[in-house]
Amino acid sequence: MHNLLPFILAVLALLATPGPTNTLMAAAGAQRGVGRSLPLLAGELGGYAIAITVWIELVGAAAAAQPLVPVIAKLVAVAFLVWSAWKLWANAGHADLNQRGITLGRVFLTTLVNPKALVFSFAIFPHVGFMARLPYAGIFALLVIATAIGWVTLGTAAASSSAGSLTSSRIERITAGALAVFAMLLAVQTVQGMLAG
């Protein structure tokens, strides 16, 4: 492995920025605390593993032949983020955590369509074969775990410092609003890219 430090720094910089998955992880921390949110890490790790592999191995090859493939993939991501925002908003405040929006499946699907996976795939991961990419994937997984725990802890701290003003319903509605904003930004970027191309 070469250029490991730039890879680590680039991954950390992108993982640390707010995004759809981080928003869900922080909201989960605010609702449930750190310990009960840790199982959601499996959803984030699985989502990124599949998304990055698909982007590099399949979409990258398809995009070389058909430039509309990445555009369609981004529009699907926009649609999912809008649907997630609506679902979180509609279910805000339900007593049963399993019926609310921040579940393992929701974290997995949100990460699967997270635009950051596209950046990781084409701008950060080295352009090497699948086996040569595995050590980078291992380091990436450790960095995902570390930053996700950071976002969960941040959410937990925000909820405990707000002295009860951050109710579950408010957290879910704030999260829904943030997901809607991410969807809008991705839609605008996609349309601008289409018009520029």
Query: What's residue 68's pLDDT?
Result: 79
List the chain pLDDT tens, one digit each, 197 residues. 567 888 998 899 888 877 889 888 988 998 889 999 999 999 999 999 999 998 888 877 776 777 777 777 778 777 877 877 787 788 766 655 444 558 899 899 989 988 788 878 877 888 788 899 999 999 999 999 999 999 999 888 887 876 556 666 676 777 778 778 877 877 887 788 778 76
Residue length of the chain:
197
3-state secondary structure of 183: helix
Alpha carbon distance 85, 74 (integer Å): 17
| pTM score of the predicted model | 0.73
Query: What's residue 120's pLDDT?
Result: 86
Q: Which residue has the tokens 């979180």?
A: 88
Q: Which residue has the tokens 């840790």?
A: 38
Taking a C-beta distance cutoff of 8 angstroms, is the pair 29, 154 a contact? yes
